[in-house]
Amino acid sequence: MYFQYYLMGIILLPGLLLATFAQFKVKSTYSKYRNIYSSCGLTACDFIKRLMSATDTNYLQIRCINGHLTDHYNPSKEEICLSQDVYSSSSVAALGIACHEFGHALQKKEKYLPYQIRRILVPITNFASTLLWPLVVIGLIFNFGVEAGGITGDIFLWSGIIVFGLSVLFNLATLPVEFNASRRAVKILKASGTLTEDEIDGTKKVLTAAALTYVAALVVSILNLLRFLLVVLARTRRD
């Protein structure tokens, strides 16, 4: 029995190692290319403004936000949010990151199917994740949980499977969305002639490193689901 619990903990190790490596890769790659400035001299903000004019997306807003690598696209407010390091920088890394977020805006405008699927999954996954922990607490209060039988224990177990399953589904849906946004970014930069081939190569490395974090998130969610399934199987055998 103790071996099963050790296995349940160890099974997450490959995912955690991959996630740690992905974070290291992102930080090291970004640190390198944030100090390599593009030959065009345009800041990320100015370049996105040009793209907005060229693609009839002037309804978009560009906002400078706090934080490090906190860049994202806010679809509800139609905002491209760029961190301070990116917003006013003309580095190879900054232009690539800004174009990636602009790629998400184009996905929404063009109703890119994987993007729409992920947007549907966001509130569902968030709600399910929020619902899980109260069930865990209730299970503990009434002395149920994984090792206990009864309706409360079953609710907890099935809720866990559903939540972790949704997490896997969400992370799986995220991959094509992020990969597509990065491909769009590279295509935009090539078509605009803004960066040289060497500079575009640097941009690709930054975006590839960022994509690895999403791969790591998927692996961790899969291993979490597998670990929870092992808990359920162990409980079933005891019953």
Residue 64's pLDDT is 97
The tens place of each residue's pLDDT in the chain, 239 residues long, gives 445 555 566 788 888 899 999 999 999 999 999 999 999 999 999 999 999 999 999 999 999 999 999 999 999 999 999 999 999 999 999 999 999 999 999 999 999 999 999 999 999 888 877 776 666 556 545 544 444 445 555 666 677 778 888 889 999 999 999 999 999 999 999 998 989 999 999 999 999 999 999 999 999 999 988 887 877 776 666 55
What's the Rg (C-alpha) of the chain?
Answer: 22
Instruction: Write down the pTM of the prediction.
Output: 0.85
Active site residues: 101
Q: What is the pLDDT of residue 148?
A: 46
Which residue from 96, 42, 110 is spatially nearest to 204, judged by alpha carbons? 96
Q: Give the H/E segment covering residue 80.
A: strand 79-83
Close Cβ partners of 32 (under 8 Å, ≥ 6 residues apart) = 202
Helix (H, G, I), strand (E, B) or coil at 65: strand
Residue 59 corresponds to which tokens in the numbers above?
């309804």
